[in-house]
Amino acid sequence: MPPEIVVTGMGVWSAAGTTPDQLWNHAVRGIPTAAWHEFDGEPALACVAPDPSPCPFFPQAHRMDRSVRLALAAAIPAAELARVAEVDPTRVAILAGNSRGPAGLWTLPATRRVRPTEAAHFAIAALSGALSLALGARGPCLTVSATCASAAHAIAIGASLIHSGITDVVVAGAAEAPLVRPLLRQFRAAGLLGQDANPALANRPFDVSRNGMVPGEGAAFIILETAEHARTRGLVPWATLAGWGLAAESHNRVATRADGDGLARSIRQALAMAAVRPDQVAHVNTHGTGTRVNDAAEAAALRGVFENHLARMPLSSTKPVTGHTFGATAALEAILTILAIHHQTAPPTVGLTELDSALGELQVCAHAKSFTGEYALSTSLGFWGNAAALLFRKPVGQMPGRA
C-alpha cells in the first residue's frame, strides 16, 4: 500500500493575501480583489498582487520574471514552516507549475541591452531552477505546464515522486505573472474576460448572467512528504493528500467537452486512489471560471460523478477573490480547500446572485456555509483539454499552530 502523503507547509502570495490566513480571510468573507489597472497604457480589470520584497536567498531574482519573484515569496515561507532545510538536500524535489512562461521577460523591448544571464532567465525552467537555488534543493527540479491545471499536475507529480521513493520532500505549487499587455489582448480576443460596471461582479461563476473571468497573478506552494517522514521530524500535518487524478480530453484546443469527461475521470481517479465514495466528499472548491462553457462542463462532470449527493454538497468558486491566476490557480485553491476542511466551512462564490438552472441542482454557496466531513476536493480545467482533481483529508487532531 502506498505511503500516506501529507502537507507540512503552505505559503501564498496573491492579490487576496500573502499568507494562508490572509488568503482564507479574504475567501471566507468574500472580498473580491478585481480593480482597474493599466498595463503598458492599456486598461484592464485584474487582480494584482503586491510587489514581493527582495529575496535574500536569491538576490538575482530582481532581474528575472515577476513569476519567479512571486514563487520565491510563496515557496520560502512554506519551506521554512516545514523545516525543509533540515532534510538531506539531495532528497528534496521542486515541482513548479506555470502556464504562460516568463511573459514579462518575453515582452521586453527588443532594443534593450541583452545581458548574458538572460539565456538562463528566459528559460521556462527558470521558475523551478530559481527555487532550487534559493532553497538548496538538489533532487528533481521540474517546471510543469498543463495550462490552467498546471499547479494540480505539479502537486500530483510531486506526490508520485514520493511514492516512487525518488525523493522524501517535495516543494510543489505554481506561480504565474500573466498581466502583460499581449496576454491580456489574447484573453480579450478569446472572449474570456468578464465585464460589469462593478468590478466586484465582473467574475460571477455559475451565475445565469456570467460572461467571463478576471485575470490575476500569484503563487502558492505546499510541502509534501510521507506521514512517517513528518512524524520523525516532529511535524504535525496540515492535511493529507488522499488522492489525485489527471486527464486530457483530446477534444479541442480551448473548449472543454460538454460532458466534462476529463474532469469526471480525474475525480474518479482521485476517489479510487483514496478508496473514498462520492458521498464521503463534503465540499468541492470548483474550477469555476465564470465562463459559460467551462462552468457548464464542470457542472456536467460533477453531476456525473456525485449524482444525488451533489444536491447536499456545498460548492465554491474562489476565483472572484483571487482572480484567475492560470497555472497558479490550482495551488491557491488547494490551500483554500485544506483550510476549508479545517474550518469546516465552504467559502462564498462572490458575484453569484442567480444560479443558472441549466447547470442542474448545484449547491453553489452565495454565502459561507458550514459542512461536516473529512474530505474535500479541488478541481481544475485548462486549455488543450487538461483536467485534474486533488482530494484532501482533514488531519487527525489539530492543525499546527491552531487552537
Average confidence (pLDDT) per 10 residues, the chain, 403 residues = 93 98 98 95 95 92 94 98 98 98 88 85 94 98 97 98 97 98 94 94 97 97 98 97 96 89 98 98 98 96 97 97 98 98 97 96 96 98 96 77 44
Residue 397, pLDDT score: 60
216 shares a domain with 251 = no
Which residues have CB under 8 Å from 41's CB, separation 6+?
A: 181
Residue 74 within a domain: yes
Residues 199 and 308 grouped into a single domain? no
Residue 371 phi/psi, 5-degree rounding, is -145, 170
Q: Are residues 162 and 250 in the same domain?
A: no
250, with CB counted inside 10 A (0-12, 13-18, 19+), is: exposed
Residues 307 and 165 in one domain: no
Query: From residue 90, how far is each of 86, 168, 376 by CA, in Å?
Result: 12, 9, 32
| 177 and 94 together in one domain | yes
138 and 167 in a single domain? The answer is yes
pLDDT at 400: 57
**What would the pLDDT profile of 334-363 be if each residue is shown by its tens digit?**
999 999 999 999 999 999 999 999 999 999
Query: Do 277 and 164 lie in a common domain?
Result: no
Residue 156 has a pLDDT of 98
pLDDT in tens, 205-252: 999 999 999 999 999 999 999 999 999 999 999 999 999 999 999 998
Supply the CATH number for residue 335's domain. 3.40.47.10
Check whether residue 92 and residue 124 sit in a common domain.
yes
Count the domains in the chain: 2
DSSP secondary structure string for all residues of 203-267: --TTBTT---B-BB-EEEEEEEEEHHHHHHTTPPPSEEEEEEEEEE--S-SSPPPTT-HHHHHHH
Query: Domain check: are 141 and 58 in the same one?
Result: yes
Sign of the dihedral through C-alpha 138, 130, 321, 265: negative
The answer to whether residue 139 is domain-embedded is yes
Last residue of a domain, one of 211, 232, 253: 232
Q: pLDDT tens digit string along 55-69? A: 998 898 899 999 999
Cell numbers describing residue 121 = 532567465
**Residue 398 domain flag:** no
For residues 13 and 290, what is the distance between their CA atoms, to the nearest angstrom? 23
User: What pLDDT, on the 0 to 100 scale, is given for residue 403?
Assistant: 36
Residue 10 lies inside a defined structural domain of this protein: yes
Structural domain that includes position 306 = 245-393
Please list the alpha-helical segments (H only) found in 122-191.
126-135, 150-164, 181-189
Whether 93 and 23 map to the same domain: the answer is yes
Do 149 and 381 touch, CB atoms closer than 8 A? yes
Query: What was the pLDDT predicted at 348?
Result: 98
How many angstroms separate the CA atoms of 192 and 99, rounded? 16
Verify that 225 and 255 share a domain, yes or no.
Answer: no
Indicate whether 169 belongs to any domain: yes
Amino acid code (one letter) for 34: A
Tell me whether residue 384 is exposed, middle or buried, using C-beta atoms within 10 angstroms of its C-beta: 0 to 12, 13 to 18, 19 or more. Answer: middle
Same domain, 330 and 194: no
Within a domain: residue 237?
A: no
